[in-house]
A and B are shown apart, each in its own frame.
Chain A
Amino acid sequence: MGWAIALHGGAGDIPHSLPPDRRLPREAGLRHCLDVGIAALKAHKHPLDVVELVVRELENYPHFNAGKGSVLTSSGTVEMEASIMDGKSKKCGAVSSLSTVVNAVSLARLVMEKTPHIYLGFHGAEAFAREQGVETADPSYFITPENIERLKQAQDANRVQIDYTQPVQKEAKDAAATIPNGDSQIGTVGCVAVDSEGNLASATSTGGLVNKMAGRIGDSPIIGAGTYANHLCAVSATGKGEAMIRGTVARDVAAVMEFKGLSLKEAAAYVIDQVPPGNAGLVAVSSTGEIATVFNTTGMFRACASEDGYSEVAIWDSPLK
């Protein structure tokens, strides 16, 4: 039994026709973040530090829906949220409605460690960020041209998307034809890790749904929905926030392991199965170093590795390369 790590860049109806200029940067991002996490685990960093570190990298990467590269609200602004949880102590921290904080996951960690509270949102969270001296940026820093285009498409279609439609002009119709509801969904980033002592941690971060109402909070900052960790496992989920909240997805994986005696993989599959198809995915690790990555969408950007040398980067069912 050694360390293990899994991370994701969002689950959704990622079309197999995803063009290289959209696929390759994300693959590279997943590999890079996996390497960062592996190096940290090899250096015996605590899983809580590891997941924060990896999610920071994912947030900074503009191709995933978190931090820079977050999708836009109906007002064209960015509202970011995140949560983090330590398995052993079950201490947790969460933040919502951030617009200038470069790394939401780190602010969530500070809420956990530096306040008597668990969850801060909006102006209060922004004020706390300034007090703590975390890195902030002008709101425009987070906005990418891709996301401006996505918002426009969503508003034209008058629809809230889990994520983005392929903003690929001439292939748009083809893409729409192959994707069930015309959407491609990539929303949220997350990371789970366990060390050789069985310490577990999980963190999740996102910009949320394209064209969401201002003030809309999804599953990512909700302990038990998007993020959960206890002595058995650590889980980070992704998908349609509303479905994850009512399904208490992250929490249920651990509950099913505990109460039904299922293995991590069985528990993850069981829980995802309960969520309507096309809506959910998760990554999880157990205290004994098992890894599970399950999704009921077309694909999920993900990467994982364990101390025995196994490693994988994947988008659809089979690992890439």
Chain B
Amino acid sequence: MGAWAIAVHGGAGVDPNLPKERQEEAKRLLTHCLDIGISALRSNLPAIDVVELVVRELETDPLFNSGRGSALTDNGTVEMEASIMDGPKRRCGAVSGLSTVKNPVSLARLVMDKSPHSYLAFSGAEDFAKKQGVELVDNEYFITEDNVGMLKLAKEANSILFDYRIPTIGTCGAGAAAMESPLQMNGLPISVYAPETVGCVVVDKEGRCAAATSTGGLVNKMTGRIGDSPLIGSGTYACDLCGVSCTGEGEAIIRSTLAREVGAVMEYKGLNLPEAVDFVIKNRLDEGKAGLIAVSKNGEVACGFNTTGMFRGCATEDGFMEVGVW
């Protein structure tokens, strides 16, 4: 019997000037989610249940961009997506275009377990949700003041923002922020960009890996826009060898099929997990910026990112635990 390991993330690409209290808030939430996952693992819950549990927690908390607290579309609404994958047999489920489902990751799980398909979207997904009796709420439930503010800024700047703006001290506008920092994510100054997507990867004592990812997507995105998070092989992947969840520039992640890549180099090149993560981040992103968390069936955990920072936490059965931003 092997050892368990777990990692969580709240998004990659962090403003170096992010106020300390926001960093602490994020770390507290990540720690809390890790604790939930660790308890579940100690109770012998299988990896697939643990990732769902943890991502539900991240969706429910409005701090990160998923579920409640999701970034808004150009119409001011929320459209959420998620995917989940179970390493053994590589079963998977994904959803997109959700507007009333309280926990998208759980609907993705139901697609995997209770439907003949792997991926459901928009009104079809919402109908399925009703039939399955999952908790549904009004779209307003997901919308937070922070995100309403960010959408306004994005429209003024007439560009896509990855996420919501971290409210900074003072009254600097997007323009001023642009001049302050040369760092960019997805064409935006890092001080305006904030990371999006949440995810969790787990390997349990039986060596089973699982992964799940959930997001509201890009602020000011076109309605109907689908990102990497619900795409198996891009934002999420799990197989016998590993479980991976990615975050960052959606286009870069899709073009490089980033999550699958980690598994592929392990499988076809024989790299171990840390080597695979390192290889993929260094060689597969080209000019794109992204990060990922991963676990292997051997109880290893690794994360990598070529962005400035990624909200993340990880823990292993031997007592190791770490939460970080940089």
Contacts and interface: CB of A to CB of B under 8 A. Distances in A.
A108 to B, nearest CB: 12
Contact of A246 (B92, B121, B125, B269): B92
Interface string A262-283: 0000000000000000000000
B232 A127 contact: no
B260 A251 contact: yes
Given A92-B254, A116-B160, A242 B233 contact: no
Interface in A53-85: none
Contacts of A242: 116-118
Contact of B119 (A216, A252, A259): A216
A42 interface: no
Contacts of B120: 213, 215-217
A62 B231 CA distance: 30
B260 A248 contact: yes
Interface residues of A, number: 46
Q: Is the interface of A mostly helix, strand, loop or mixed?
A: mixed
Given A255-B264, A259-B264, A260-B268, A246 B118 contact: yes
Nearest to B269: A259
A124 interface: yes
Contacts of B97: 121-122
Contacts of A224: 231-234, 254, 257, 260
A90 interface: yes
A125 B250 contact: no
Contacts of B96: 121, 217
Sorting the interface of chain B by its residue count into under 10, 10 to 19, 20 to 34 or 35 or more gives 35 or more
Nearest to B124: A215
Contacts, number: 156
A214 B232 contact: no
A148 interface: no
A8 interface: no
B224 A125 contact: yes
Task: Specify the main secondary structure of chain B where it touches its partner.
Answer: mixed
A224 B150 CA distance: 33
B299 to A, nearest CB: 24
Contacts of A256: 268
A119 B221 CA distance: 11
Nearest to B257: A224
Chain B CB within 10 Å, residue with most, of A117, A127, A259: A117
Interface string A203-244: 000000100111111100011110010000000000001100
A124 B223 contact: yes
B232 A217 contact: no
B219 to A, nearest CB: 12
Nearest to A221: B226
Given A92-B255, A115-B222, A216-B120, A248 B227 contact: no
Interface string B17-31: 000000000000000
A24 to B, nearest CB: 33
A256 B125 CA distance: 34
A121 B117 contact: no
B233 A215 contact: no
B255 A255 contact: no
A215 B251 CA distance: 23
A251 B121 contact: no
Nearest to B91: A246
B240 to A, nearest CB: 12
A68 B148 CA distance: 42
Contacts of B85: 246
Contacts of A31: none
A223 B268 contact: no
A248 B122 contact: no
A124 B225 contact: yes
Contacts of A120: 222, 224-226
A91 interface: yes
Given A120-B224, A256-B268, A245 B121 contact: no
A96 interface: yes
A259 B251 CA distance: 23
5 contacts: A213-B117, A223-B234, A246-B85, A255-B268, A259-B265
Interface of A: 90-92, 94, 96-97, 115-125, 127-128, 160, 209, 212-218, 222-225, 228, 241-242, 245-248, 251-252, 255-256, 258-260
Give the 8 A-B CB pairs with smallest separation, nearest first.
Answer: A215-B124, A124-B224, A259-B268, A214-B124, A224-B257, A119-B226, A224-B233, A217-B119
Given A216-B117, A217-B121, 7 more contacts: A96-B121, A117-B225, A122-B123, A122-B224, A128-B224, A217-B117, A258-B268
